[in-house]
Chains A and B, each alone.
Chain A
Amino acid sequence: MKIVVVGCGKIGEAILNALTLEGHDLVVVDNRDHVISEIVNKHDVMCVCGNGVDRETLSEAGVESAELFIAVTGSDELNMLSCLIAKRMGAQHTIARIRNPQYNDKSLGFLRQQLDISMSINPELLTAQELYHMLKLPSAVKVETFSRRNFEMIELLLKEDSPFIGVPLYSLRERHSAKFLVCVVQRKNQVIIPDGGFVLQSGDRIGLTAKPSEIQKLLKSLGLAKKQAKRVMLLGGSRIAFYLSRMLMSSGTDVKIIDMDRAMCLKISEMLPGISTICGDGTHQDLLLEEGLLDQDAFLSLTGMDEENILVAYYAATQKVPRVIAKVNRDEMAAMATSMGLESIISPKDIVVNVVLRYARALQGSMGVASIETLYQLMDGGAEAVEFCVKEDSALTRTPLKSLPIKKNTLIAGIIRDRSTIIPAGDDMILPGDRVVVIAGEHRLKELTDILR
C-alpha cells in the first residue's frame, strides 16, 4: 500500500517504522532537511523535503496515488489543512493528528466531516483512555480487549511466589478451575508462544486470555485481585492528566494533580471543578508525602520528562503505593524502566502506532480478501494478536484444533461465537461465522489460513 506521512517527529518516525516493517511503501514529507537526511539513513523510505501543505511538494510525494495519507506534524491546523489538500488531490484515506482539546470536544465531528478526514488521532486522549482502563481493572499489568470487549488478554509479570511457576502449562489448567490460556511469554528479550509442556519461570511476562467473567476469579486465585482505585495522584498537569481526571472524576474517583506551573494548575481547576490541584515540585519526596502519597490507591507520573517519570514512579513503588504507572515515550527508556522493576509503563507513541497500524491493516484487508478485524501488538511488538472473521469456505473450519497443522509460534487464543468466548482446547473446532483471535510470533499474518503449515 502506498502511504504518505507528513511530519517526522517522534510519533511520525514510530509510525513510519511500523508501517515499513508491514511492507508498505512510504513517502515521508518534512520541511527540516536535517530530519530528512536522518530518516533516509535509518529507514527504507523515500523522503521529500518541503512544506506538507504545499501542493507541489505533495505532488512530488505522489499523494495523487496514495492509499493512505497521515499528517502528524506538531500543528493541528497544519495537519487538517494538509489532509484536506491531500484528499482533494486524490489520496483515498486521510488521518490527522488533532490534539488541541478545543478541537476535540464538540467541533471534532463537524471538522472531520467537513474536511473529509477518515480518522483523527488524539494521542493524549487515547493514552488517557488506556490509563483509565488500567486503573479500573485490578492490578494486572496491562489489559487488551478484542472483539468488542468479548475477549480480553491480560499481561502480567510473574513474581517468585506466583503459583504459576515451575509447573507445565497443561497441569496448570487442571489445577485452576477457571478456563484460561497462557498465549504469549516474554522471557528477557525473547517472545515465545508456549505449548502445553512449557514451564514458566519467575520474571516472565505472560499474556493470559480468559473469558471476561472468569478473569476476576482467576486473578483472585492468583492472589492478584485488589480493590478499585478510589484515590489517584497524578504528577504533571499535561493534557493526558486533564482527560484522565475528567474520566476518573465522572466515575467518582478523587483526583489530585501536582504540577509546578501555577497557571496550569489554575487552568485545570477552572476546567474541572472539584479536583484538587497542588502547585509544587513533584520530584520532592517531602511534598509527595505531605500530599498523602501513602494513602493513594494509585500514582501516575505523567510529566513531559521520561527520566523524571521513571524516578518518581520508582520512588512511589518503593513506598508501597498499590498501583504505579509511568508515562515513558522513548523505547530505550521503557526497556530500562522495566529492568528496574517498574511494572506498568505507558507510551503514547505505542498507542498511536497501534491505532494507525490497525487502521492500515483494516484498510489493506478491505482491499484484498483478508478479513482482519483488529490487530494488537503484544510484548513490545514481539508478537501480534490478530482477530479474523471466518468465512464460509475457509480451509480451517469443522476440524478439531488438535488435528490442524498449525505453524510453530502461532496459537489460536480464542474463538468468539454468538457473543460468547470459547477458550479453545484441542477438541474445539472453528465454525463459519466465528471470530478467531490468533497470536503469532514472528509471522506477519494476512489471512487466517496463513497459520497453517
Chain B
Amino acid sequence: MNRKMVYFMTGRIILMVGALMFLPLVVSFIYRDGGTLSFLITIGSCAAVGLGLSLSFKPDSQVIYAKEGFLITALTWLTVSAIGALPFVISGEIPNFIDAFFETVSGFTTTGASILTNVEGMSHSMLFWRSFTHWIGGMGVLVLMVAVMPNLSGRTIHVLRAEMPGPTMGKLVPRLRDTAKILYLLYIVLTALEFVLLLCGGMPMFDSAVHALGTAGTGGFGIRGDSIGSYSPYLQWVIAVFMMLFGINFNLYYLLVLRRFRSIFRSEEFWTYVIVVLAASGLICWNIFTRMHYAFPDAVRHAFFQVNTVVSTTGFSTVDFNLWPELSKTILVLLMFMGGCAGSTAGGLKVSRLVLLFKNIRRELRRLLHPRSAAAIRFEGKAVDNSTLSSVNTYFALYMGLLAGFVLIVSFQPGFNFLSNFTAVVSCFNNIGPGLDLVGPSANFAGYGGFFKVVLSFAMLFGRLEIYPMLISMSPSTWIKK
C-alpha cells in the first residue's frame, strides 16, 4: 500500500481546508463578532499539520489503487471534521469537543442535525462556517482538491469514485480535473442563482448566503429556531425548488449547458425522481389539507417543501411536521431512505439504486415463473452489467445491516423512545437532519450522550461516503503489516 501517498494527500487536504477558512475569517472581520482569533488559530494549525504531513511524506510514486482511494477519502473526512470543529471549541461557542465534532460532521456530511439549543445566540462567523461546511461537503472536499490541484495522476479517479455518491461514476469530459472543475462551476452558478433569488425576495444578505450554501450542499443548518418557518412564502418556495434542483444529477445540468435536451428528457432517474416528489407532495397535501385545516396554498407549499427537504436530504423545515398526521409522517420517513439522484449533493440510497433494485426484483420474479428466461436489465437506455447489479444488491444489504446495527447501539441511550432513536439514525445515516418526536424539526440532538453523538457522527460519515471507504478504513487488515 502506498501509505506515503495517503498521508501526503491528507496533508494537502488539510492545507486546503485551512485556506477555505479564510472565508469565515473575512465574515468575522465584517461583523466583528470575536471569531477572528479562533479562525486564525485554526488556520495556523492547519498550515502546520498540513505542511508537516505533506513535507514529511513525500511520495515516491503517485500511483494509487482502489484501496488507497478509499483510505484517502475516509481519513480526509475524519481529519477535516476534527479540524473543522476547532473554531467552535476555541471560541467557546460549543465548548465540548464531542459536541463540536458532531456539529462539524453534520455540516460536512450535509446532514444538518444540530446539538445547538440556541442557534440564534451563535455569532455570525460561526453560523457562516457551519453552513459553509455544508457547501464544501456537498460536492466534496476531494473533488475540490482535484479541481484545484494540478498534476494529479489519472488514478485519482479512485478517490473521486470513493467520494462521489451513486452506483457508478461517469466523467463529463476526458480529463478528471476538467470534470471536477465543471462540477464545481455548475455548483457555484446554481448557488449564486439561489443567493440572488433569495436577496430579491427581501431576505437579508447574511441569511441569503447561509441558506443558499445550506441548500446547495443539501445540508440544512438553519440560523433561526424554526428553521425557514418565519420567512415569506416566496422565500420558502425558492428554497423548496432549489432543494429539488440540488437533488438532481449534476451531469444533467452539464447536458443542459451543452443543449442536449433529448438526453435529459430520456433520463429514467430524473423522471422517477420528479414523479416521486410530485406524487408524495400530492398525497401529503391532501392528507394535511383535510386533517390539519391549512389554507390550500399553505398546504401545497408545506407539503412540497417538506417532501423536498427529505428527498434531497436537506433538512430545512417550514413547519413542525412532527405534529402532522401519521400518514404524512410515514411517507416522509419512507422518503428518507430514497434520497436524491446519483451524482447530486444529496444523500440516501439514491434513486438510481432503487430503480435498479426494483428492476432486478422484477427479473428475479419472472425467473421464478420462467426458469429459462434470459433477460437483460436496461437503465438509462443501456444494458446494465451483472457486476453493477450485484454491487447494488450488496450495497442495499450492507446499508440495511448497518442501519439495524446503528439503531441497536443508539437504543442503549436512556430516555429516548423507539421512534426518536429510529428516525435519528435514519436521518443521520441518510444525511437529512431532523427526525421525528424527540429529534423532530423543532427539537435537536443535544439530549444524546457523548458516546451516542460519536456513533451518530459515524453514521453520518458512513452515509455520506456510501459505507465502503469507512468500512475499509476501519478494518484492521488494512492497517496491520504482516
Binding site for B on A (CB under 8 A): 2, 20, 25-27, 33, 40-46
A26 touches B174 (CB 8 A): yes
- Which residue of B66, B157, B175 is within 8 Å of A25 (Cβ)? B175
Q: List 10 A-B contacts (CB under 8 A).
A: A27-B174, A33-B385, A40-B157, A41-B66, A41-B157, A41-B158, A44-B157, A44-B174, A44-B177, A46-B173
Interface residues on B, range: 10 to 19
Chain A residue nearest to B158 in the complex (CB): A41
- Expressed in whole angstroms, the Cα–Cα distance for A44 and B157 within the complex equals 8
Interface contact tally, CB-CB below 8 A: 31
A46 touches B171 (CB 8 A): yes
A42 touches B154 (CB 8 A): yes
B413 at the interface (CB under 8 A from A): no
B444 to chain A, nearest CB (A): 43
What is the interface of chain A mostly: helix, strand, loop, or mixed? mixed
B175: chain A residues within 8 A (beta carbon): 25, 44
B154 touches A25 (CB 8 A): no
B367 at the interface (CB under 8 A from A): no
A77 to chain B, nearest CB (A): 26
Please give me the 9 A-B residue pairs with the lowest Cβ-Cβ distance, nearest first: A44-B154, A25-B174, A46-B174, A43-B154, A46-B171, A44-B176, A26-B174, A45-B174, A27-B174
B362 at the interface (CB under 8 A from A): no
- Which residue of A2, A27, A33, A45 is within 8 Å of B154 (Cβ)? A45
User: Which positions 137-159 of chain B face chain A at CB distance < 8 Å?
Assistant: 153-158
B182 to chain A, nearest CB (A): 12
B5 to chain A, nearest CB (A): 16
B154: chain A residues within 8 A (beta carbon): 20, 42-45
Chain A residue nearest to B168 in the complex (CB): A37
- Expressed in whole angstroms, the Cα–Cα distance for A43 and B156 within the complex equals 9
A194 to chain B, nearest CB (A): 25
A45: chain B residues within 8 A (beta carbon): 154, 174
- Expressed in whole angstroms, the Cα–Cα distance for A126 and B175 within the complex equals 31
B155 touches A41 (CB 8 A): yes
- Expressed in whole angstroms, the Cα–Cα distance for A46 and B157 within the complex equals 11
A2: chain B residues within 8 A (beta carbon): 174
A44 touches B173 (CB 8 A): no
B156: chain A residues within 8 A (beta carbon): 44
A6 to chain B, nearest CB (A): 15
A44: chain B residues within 8 A (beta carbon): 153-154, 156-157, 174-177
- Which residue of A25, A26, A27, A42 is within 8 Å of B155 (Cβ)? A42
A170 to chain B, nearest CB (A): 35
- Expressed in whole angstroms, the Cα–Cα distance for A45 and B158 within the complex equals 13
Scoring B156, B171, B174, B178 by chain A CB atoms within 10 A of each residue's CB, the highest score goes to B174
- Give 1 or 0 for each of B223-249: 1 = CB within 8 Å of chain A CB: 000000000000000000000000000
A25: chain B residues within 8 A (beta carbon): 173-175, 178
- Expressed in whole angstroms, the Cα–Cα distance for A26 and B177 within the complex equals 13
- Give 1 or 0 for each of B156-189: 1 = CB within 8 Å of chain A CB: 1110000000000001011111100000000000
In addition to A41-B155, A44-B157, A46-B171, 8 A-B residue pairs with Cβ atoms within 8 Å of each other are: A20-B154, A41-B66, A42-B154, A43-B154, A44-B154, A44-B174, A44-B176, A45-B174
B294 to chain A, nearest CB (A): 48
- Expressed in whole angstroms, the Cα–Cα distance for A33 and B385 within the complex equals 9
- Expressed in whole angstroms, the Cα–Cα distance for A42 and B176 within the complex equals 12
- Expressed in whole angstroms, the Cα–Cα distance for A2 and B156 within the complex equals 21
